[in-house]
Amino acid sequence: MGQFMFHQYHQDESTAPTVATKETETTLYFLQQGVYSSIESIEKNLTDFEYYTYTEQDGKYYVYVAIIQSEENLEKLKGFFKDMGYDIYVKQYTVSSTAFLEVLNQYEQLLKGTNDAKTIQAACTQILAKYEELVVND
């Protein structure tokens, strides 16, 4: 039966193959707020942020407050965080989760069309939450 189905599928050339292809890697901008020596230090210094993510490397915690793909939105977010009084460092990392990249694209469109601080902060929060859900915890 399986062989029959396989041959039927391949005889119909109008049907695209359903075999999953390797996910493409995309370079994203991660906006780093700072580097801390402890979780307590992060919590003390990031009270203005509803949500953030961090990585631990060599006993130091690197805190990220936003992830973005387009340079236009990168500049908007850098200005937004500068207005909040934060110096932001931009790091580039590759991400290959198509599910996350699709969500990010939707938020990119939202950010492109707004200058409202609450909307920008909410979008950054949602992007980071989705990053942790679809990339970090996957």
Quick: pLDDT tens for 4-47: 444 444 444 433 333 334 457 899 999 999 999 999 999 998 88
Residue 47 confidence (pLDDT): 86
pLDDT digit string (tens) for 44-76? 988 888 899 999 999 999 999 999 999 999 999
With a threshold of 0.85, does the pTM exceed it?
no
pLDDT digit string (tens) for 77-118? 999 999 999 999 999 999 999 999 999 999 999 999 999 999
CB neighbours of 65 closer than 8 A, spacing ≥ 6? Answer: 31, 32, 33, 46, 49, 52, 81, 86, 88, 124, 128
85-91 — which CB contacts under 8 Å span 24+ positions? 86/33, 88/31, 88/32, 88/33, 89/31, 89/32, 90/29, 90/30, 90/31, 90/32, 91/29, 91/30, 91/32, 91/64
Residue 16 confidence (pLDDT): 37
Please name which of 18, 63, 20 lies closest in space to residue 39, comparing C-alpha atoms.
63
